[in-house]
DNA sequence: ACCAATGCTTGCATCATGCAATAGTTGTAT
DNA sequence: ATACAACTATTGCATGATGCAAGCATTGGT
């Protein structure tokens, strides 16, 4: 089934590495292609900014930068493009006039929602090929993997993880 | 455990989307951080080129471009940098002198091997937190997922998938 | 009123990317 | 033999992403 690369490290059952690599390809592929479904409206970094804004609501630019693991200046320029495209808006915090808050516009919210919907449809399409019991097994196993990875690869990590 | 986003599409059990998203983060995170372990020696696009060369052996530049889903000109310039860095070398096919073949140097092979080794250690570290039975369950489930995704997200796809 | 800390932006350099135009090669047809 | 069509790789050009360093504005404390 998989091109066994006879490269299994210590403590890993044979074939595990290959399966993990293939699974990474599948999951990352779904995430990336969901952007293509938007008609090339936004790039991956741009979408990441929109997604974090959808998650956090209106936040200071710097906080978005920390959440994304990017330099503040990079977020400034990403925001430039998203404001120009009408997907986000800049605002000010009355308390601290030096702070620039970023918010999604209706257009931005639509993009994030559309990508999420596409991802779910695609996922359902793939899972539908499995028996119900297997579907449950996949979900349960992924939950195990995620819990094992713990905080190391969570949204809030020492070094934030993309996607 | 997961921030249930009450966003489960049709045909998906509740929570599935969140688990999948978290799993994507974990797997993509491992793949991306394996590059950091190389000391920022190469960027992700550069490493993708090296990895494809490791997979395919010496290949024409254009074939590498197709395998990566990139424009040939992009591969030309990626190759420029990797040749300059000493990780790859250009060659010619005696049959077709217009064809430029790309090969890994010893240095390039080392990089690919080091990243793979890091990934395996990290994976083993995470899996070690699970009971052996659960480890097996995770591997089996990922295999199911990959087989369900089938050719749609394989190395050889209509639209090649990164990573 | 000065000053240090904080936060955003701009200047600069580098990498990544695709499209279009160009150049070199090969095989075929005239 | 020459001309042409097909293919491959590269270069020119424009845009986006990125980090670091410098600059500017704001805020709070002394």
Looking at residue A158, what is its pLDDT?
Answer: 47
Q: Do B124 and A11 touch (CB under 8 A)?
A: yes
Residue A14 has pLDDT above 80, yes or no: no
Q: Which residue of B has its CA nearest to A33?
A: B161
Q: Do A161 and B29 touch (CB under 8 A)?
A: yes
Ranges in chain B, pLDDT < 50: 2-3, 156-158
Tell me, in Å, how far CA of A73 is from C1' of C13? Answer: 15
Q: CB burial class (10 A; 0-12, 13-18, 19+) of residue B163?
A: middle
What are the φ/ψ torsions at residue B90 (nearest 5 degrees)?
-95, 145
Q: Do B17 and A119 touch (CB under 8 A)?
A: yes
Q: How far apart are CA A130 and CA A123, in angstroms?
A: 11
Looking at residue B11, what is its pLDDT?
Answer: 63
**What's the gap in Å between the CA of A161 and the closest CA on chain B?**
5
B64-104 pLDDT, tens per residue? Answer: 999 999 999 999 999 999 999 999 999 999 889 999 999 99
A43-99 pLDDT, tens per residue? Answer: 999 999 999 999 998 999 999 999 999 999 999 999 999 999 999 999 999 999 999
| Closest residue by Cα to residue A142 from A127, A157, A122, A131 | A127
Residue A122 has pLDDT above 70, yes or no: yes
| Chain C footprint positions (protein CB, under 7 Å) | 6-11, 15-21, 23-27
High-pLDDT (> 70) share of chain A, %: 85
Q: How far apart are CA A99 and CA A72, in angstroms?
A: 12
pTM: 0.90
Residues of chain A positioned with their CB less than 8 A from the CB of B30:
20, 24, 153
Looking at residue B6, what is its pLDDT?
Answer: 54
């Amino acid at each position: 089934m998989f091109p066994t690369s006879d490269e299994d490290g210590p403590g890993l059952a044979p074939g595990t590495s290959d399966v993990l690599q293939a699974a990474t390809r599948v999951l990352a592929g779904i995430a990336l292609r969901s952007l293509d479904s938007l008609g090339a409206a936004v790039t991956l970094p741009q979408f990441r900014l929109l997604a974090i804004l959808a998650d956090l609501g209106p936040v200071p630019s710097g906080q978005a930068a920390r959440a994304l693991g990017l330099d503040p200046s990079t977020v400034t320029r990403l925001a430039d493009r998203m404001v120009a495209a009408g997907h986000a808006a800049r605002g000010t915090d009355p308390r601290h006039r030096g702070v620039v808050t970023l918010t999604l516009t209706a257009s931005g919210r639509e993009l994030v929602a559309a990508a999420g919907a596409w991802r779910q449809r695609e996922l359902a399409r793939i899972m539908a090929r499995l028996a119900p019991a297997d579907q449950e097994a996949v979900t349960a196993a992924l939950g195990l993997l995620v819990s094992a990875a713990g905080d190391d690869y969570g949204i809030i990590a020492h070094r934030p993880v993309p996607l």
